[in-house]
Structure 1
Amino acid sequence: MQRALELARLGLGYASPNPMVGCVVVHQERIIGEGWHRQYGGPHAEVNAVESVADKSLLPQSTVYVSLEPCNHWGKTPPCTDLLLQHKPKRVVICNTDSNPRAAGGLQRLQAAGIEVEAGLLEKDGRWLNRRFFTVVEKKRPYIILKWAQTADGFMARSDYSSKWISNAYARQLVHKWRSEEDAILVGSNTARYDNPQLTNRDWPGYPRQPLRVVIDRQLLLHQNLHLFDASYPSICYNLKEDREAPNLTFRQLAADNFLEHLLEDLKGRGVQSVLIEGGPRLFTQLFELGLWDEIRMFVAPHSFGSGIAAPHPQGYLLKKEVLDDNELQWRVRQPW
């Protein structure tokens, strides 16, 4: 199952809005086939694993390890449960059951056909891997990651916003990797105004898609010459004023009440499974107050400003710390998985 989870993770940035799934076929303690869900809309992990088995006559005597319950519905591809019923392996072991009611029910069908079924192997590891998918299904909103960099004395910027970079080059490149793994990147109006970010993964080549760029500009006061409005990649501006469509640019009007909740609901409706929020401090404070966050990735750099715009107080459970040259990276989660 550990191998199935390793394979599943290769789908990060490609499989969404589907979950990441890996599959390993074992015959007499030897792996004879494996696969993962490589691309949304493409064959699922079970299909790729079964196709990779050279001698399919071995399948009825084999055990199939799948990191998520085989799907039991027609979507862009046929149900994987049907494929397993066709080849009828001796045993199927899964990591997590599927909490999506449209796709669930595969285990019962396999059991009814006389296939031995086991569930819950490395269950916590599987839920952590697919935390984006499970959050969308169970909480009805995208998974929310807050990312910021701060000085050693706790500031995100100088008072005049003149300090564009706090973290080092290694940290900034890592952020571009993260952007390639999430569906959308979001910033508030001050971050857009003073940093003029492109919100792309240009420094992490090899990923074919760019994240959806999202900015909050309630009163539509941002200059249209900012990178976020250059139409180079799909972007959304959430506001209180108007709905408008332009090439690669959507202006979406939301109600003032519960603005952030409506924003997340709209993103979910667009198939967004995860959002990396890169600022600024006012937006972070609002999200903390509403309990609308799941993970924090915080860089601490060895600089001191003495005064300026204070970083949020880190919340949640400290998951781990990493060192990137002279920067420290802290990972925090709102609740253990």
Structure 2
Amino acid sequence: MRRALSLAAHGPATGINPQVGCVLVDTDGTIVAEGWHRGAGTPHAEVDALSRVHTNGAAAGIPPGLTAIVTLEPCNHEGLTGPCSEALITAGVERVVYAVSDPGEHSSGGAERLREAGVLVDAGVLAEEASEAMRIWLTATRLRRPFVTMKWASSLDGRVAAVDGSSKWITGTAARQRVHEQREQSDAILVGTGTVLADDPGLTARGDGGELMPHQPIPVVIGERAVDASARVFRHPQTPIITGTRDLPAILADLFERGIRHAFVEGGPTLASAFVTAGLVDEYLVYLAPVLLGGDQSALTDIGVGSIGEARRLSIDSVERLGDDLLVVARPVPVGAVDGKKDT
């Protein structure tokens, strides 16, 4: 299963499909083929692996007794490709071992179909590791909205700008380049109309030399104010989405229907605070620069916390040094958790 997880990581991190890997082993436990999903419209991991089976140079035929080890429950629906459950049954695979059940509204049910056909099925192998690897896709699929990553850069005292509003640049080049890499790993980049009107950002993902990276997130502008047609966002390689509303749940639901599974929020304090208050943030990326600014230009405004007991607790995933700056990666602590762990 760990080999299948490493194969899955070769697939694209963006788009509507999860990263999935598959390993086929024979009755002796020898790997006979491997596969992974390469993106929408391409063969799923199981079919990719089956297509790579070779039997001593034979022109056709799949050896009997194969076990398929796959990171996600084989799908059971007809989409851009056929159901993997049927492909495994047709190929005569005798056993399927998978890590995580498919939460998809239309794609789940593969395990049940396999069992109906007489295939031995085992679930939950390395489920925790696989769930973490697929956290973005699983969260989006279960909640029917994109996984939301919130990013801001601030001084050590939590300010995103000086008293006069200037903020360019709080962090150094290494931190800023990491942000561009994170943009590229997202399906969409979300900002408020205030940011667009004040800063006129390009919202592209760029390399060290300023060149456009291969994947560009779709720019999404949230708010009710009009955006002038001359704004740089309209010159983005992707057609921008102008929401015309501040209804965050409705916006996220619409983005999900458009195939967006990972939203990268880079708005100012007003938009950031709205997402936090609504409980719509799944991951925080906080860049901290070794400077002090003072004043009232805080990263967040009112988020509905009236006392320390109402504080929104976070669990720190990692802390990384980027030049003189720090990147703190954190996620919300679930309600009912104690010290970052679920209260049982």
Q: How would you bin the TM-score normalised by the shorter chain?
A: 0.7 to 0.9
Letter in 2 for 1:330: V
Tell whether 2:196 aligns with 1:192: yes
The size of the alignment, in residue pairs, is 318
Q: Deviations over 1:15-43 (max 9, x none)?
A: x2122211111232332211111111111
The residue aligned with 1:237 is 242
The residue aligned with 2:120 is 116
Q: Following superposition of structure 1 onto structure 2, how do residues 97-246 of structure 1 map, counting pairs within 5 Å?
A: 97-203=101-207, 208-220=214-226, 222-230=227-235, 232-239=237-244
Q: Deviations over 1:209-242 (max 9, x none)?
A: 311101123121x443321122542101122xxx
Return 32-41 or 188-197, whichever deviates more: 188-197
The two structures, once aligned, show a CA RMSD in angstroms of 2.2
Of the three residues 283, 294, 305, the one matched with 1:295 is 283
Measured after TM superposition, the shift of residue 206 of structure 1 is 9.0
Letter in 1 for 2:17: N
Q: Deviations over 1:60-103 (max 9, x none)?
A: 22321111111111100111111110122232110111111311
Letter in 2 for 1:7: L
Of the three residues 319, 322, 326, the one matched with 1:321 is 319
The residue aligned with 1:17 is 16
Q: Deviations over 1:239-261 (max 9, x none)?
A: 2xxxxxxxxxxxxxx4x6xx112
- CA distance in 2 between counterparts of 1:314 and 1:107 reads 38
Gaps in structure 2 of 5+ consecutive residues: 301-310, 335-341
- CA distance in 2 between counterparts of 1:226 and 1:304 reads 32
The residue aligned with 2:50 is 50
The residue aligned with 1:248 is none
- Asked if structure 2 preserves the Cα contact closer than 8 Å seen for 1:59 and 1:87, the reply is no
Q: Deviations over 1:169-205 (max 9, x none)?
A: 1222222221222111001123223332211122177
Letter in 1 for 2:133: L
Letter in 2 for 1:316: L
- CA distance in 1 between counterparts of 2:232 and 2:87 reads 47
Measured after TM superposition, the shift of residue 10 of structure 1 is 2.3
- CA distance in 2 between counterparts of 1:209 and 1:63 reads 35
- CA distance in 2 between counterparts of 1:319 and 1:260 reads 26
Measured after TM superposition, the shift of residue 108 of structure 1 is 1.5
Gaps in structure 1 of 5+ consecutive residues: 240-253
- Asked if structure 1 preserves the Cα contact closer than 8 Å seen for 2:5 and 2:71, the reply is yes
- Asked if structure 2 preserves the Cα contact closer than 8 Å seen for 1:167 and 1:327, the reply is yes
Percent identical: 38
Tell whether 2:41 aligns with 1:37: no
Secondary structure of the equivalent of 1:298? strand
C-alpha change, 1:196 and 1:13, in structure 2 (3 Å) is farther
Q: Deviations over 1:240-292 (max 9, x none)?
A: xxxxxxxxxxxxxx4x6xx1121112212211111000121111111111111
- Provide the TM-score with structure 1 as the length reference: 0.87
